[in-house]
Amino acid sequence: MKILNKLYSDTVRMAGHAKATYYLFILSLAESSFFPIPPDVMLAPMCIAKPNRVWRFALITTIGSVIGGILGYLIGKFSFDYIELILIDFGYIIAYENSVYWFNKWGFWAILIAGFSPIPYKIFTIAAGVLNMAFIPFVIGSIVGRGGRFYLVAFLVKLFGEKIDSILNKYTDRIAWVLVFLILIGLIIS
């Protein structure tokens, strides 16, 4: 796992670069279809460094992520046979099988929840393509789920400033799971 630690460190370091917004877009695009590091690790430091641009950074992250999600969808739709072994090798096959189950059970809501949660979104984008999910609902779910996640990060940075960095590092997964749980409860009740 040292390679992931290095990727994480490099990603955080890029947040301070002069072309950070381009890197943020590329990272967001890549993470939604194949890259293991989520854009939050670059988005939060950029928002902390330039709090007057948090909404712009959230928008860039959302657009990149949705375009990357579309790429993941296309990979699933047209190339799954080629990447199935990669999913197995990287230990994502169980997550893929779970995403297929979620799609069969909740359809549109699966992509929305996956976009917002710490679940590997890239696996859901690929599964959506494999299962031929209707494209427009896929894109709408991706915009709402990913946008909700990244605008929440921007909002929290705007609200708490630099203090949020340690809070996000410590509690992001827990916050996301609580929100996913609340959404699921809402789905069950309705």
Task: Locate 87 and state its tokens.
Answer: 């999913």
Model confidence pLDDT, tens digit, residues 114-170: 887 777 788 889 999 999 999 999 999 999 999 999 998 899 888 887 776 666 556
Answer for the pair 15, 46: CB distance below 8 angstroms, yes or no: yes
pTM of the prediction? Answer: 0.79
Q: How far is CA 129 from CA 104, 147, 175, in A?
A: 13, 20, 28
Q: Which domain holds residue 20?
A: 2-189
Model confidence pLDDT, tens digit, residues 30-44: 988 877 778 888 888
49 exposed, middle or buried (CB, 10 Å; 0-12, 13-18, 19+)? middle
Report the number of distinct structural domains present in the chain: 1
Answer for the pair 65, 31: CB distance below 8 angstroms, yes or no: yes
Model confidence pLDDT, tens digit, residues 71-106: 999 999 999 988 888 888 888 888 888 888 888 888
Please, which pLDDT band fits residue 4 given cuts at 50, 70 and 90?
Answer: very low
Q: How far is CA 18 from CA 15, 29, 45, 46, 109, in A?
A: 9, 19, 13, 11, 38
Task: Report the range out of 107-111, 135-139, 178-182 with the highest average pLDDT.
Answer: 135-139
Task: Locate 167 and state its tokens.
Answer: 């809070």
